Amino acid sequence: MTVTVQSRFRGPTTSGNGGYVAGVLAARLGAGPVTVTLRTPPPLETPLSVRSSLDGGLELADGDMLVAVAGASGSEGDLVAVPPVPVAEVAEISARYPGFSAHPFPECFVCGPARSPGDGLRLFPGRVGDGRTACLWSVGDDVAGAPEFVWAALDCPGGWSAPIEGRPMVLGRITAHVSDVPAAGESCLVMGGFVGTEGRKTWTDSTLYGADGRVLGRARSTWIAIP
């Protein structure tokens, strides 16, 4: 089996968005929390092989190079839900998105301000001021109903809870559980939360809420600072 990460789904200009790629791999493991570790930037427009690993998980590989590994991970209760802000406050919070003025990856499929409506997800997580971020996701027809886009939406809003504009980071590992998928046209609330930093690593939480307040997905991510 092979998968190809289309250029549309890039994070940095030359590699795939980490959350999206993790979701593509995790979806092939079925229900339950899954941990995906990214070993190298996922290449674009390149057939990547998906193969079983010895521990019952999956591997994503570019020839002999291991791109990512995925495996089942504990229970849903191990993932913390980031408390939501009132939806009425989100527009003002999102208007303060730091990525509007300084963004290490402005073409990112999830949070890049250079992406046009209908092309990128255009999630603009502004900081609440207490370690949380908040933004809305207006779900397009072409990304509704697919769990990999829930994984993508759980990616960047967590990262922006840290000062990523001055200290660029990429996703190294994400553990997520997708309990439902949004419908086309649904307006979803995405919350990120800062957990901590040590050396080059930063940990964040994120939660996706449906328009009716139901939890669609939760994640804990490990980010790696890059030069």
Q: What pLDDT was estimated at residue 76? A: 58
Confidence of residue 75 (pLDDT cuts 50, 70, 90): low
The alpha-helical segments, DSSP class H, found in the chain are 18-26, 90-94, 147-153, 156-159
What pLDDT, in 10s, does the model give residues 31-41? Answer: 779 999 999 99
Cα–Cα separations (whole angstroms), residue 7 to 42, 71, 141: 11, 26, 19
Mean pLDDT of 175-187: 97
What is the b/e burial string over 26-49, where b = at least 16 CB atoms within 10 angstroms of the residue's CB? bbebeeebbbbbbeebbbbeeebe
- Dist. CA 165–CA 194, nearest whole Å: 15
Question: The tokens of 181 are what?
Answer: 């998928």
What pLDDT, in 10s, does the model give residues 105-137? Answer: 999 999 999 999 999 999 999 999 999 999 999
Is a pLDDT exceeding 80 seen at residue 74?
Answer: no
Percent of the chain with pLDDT over 70: 98
Q: What pLDDT was estimated at residue 53? A: 87
Percent of the chain with pLDDT over 90: 93
Q: Determine which helix (DSSP H) or strand (DSSP E) holds 26, and give its type and residue range.
A: helix 18-26
Question: Quick check: helix, strand or coil at residue 183?
Answer: coil
CATH superfamily of 2-225: Acyl-CoA thioesterase, double hotdog domain (2.40.160.210)
Mean pLDDT of 2-22: 98
Spans of all domains in the chain: 2-225
Question: The tokens of 86 are what?
Answer: 């009132």
Length of the chain: 227
Q: What pLDDT was estimated at residue 78? A: 75
Strand duo 34-38 + 169-178: pairing: antiparallel
Mean pLDDT of 173-181: 96
Is a pLDDT exceeding 80 seen at residue 77?
Answer: no
Greatest extent of the chain over all pairs of C-alpha atoms, in Å? 50
> What's the per-residue H, E or C state across 36-47?
EEECCCCECCCE
pTM above 0.85, yes or no: yes
Q: What pLDDT was estimated at residue 32? A: 78
Q: What pLDDT was estimated at residue 54? A: 82
Lowest mean pLDDT across 32-36, 100-104, 174-178: 32-36
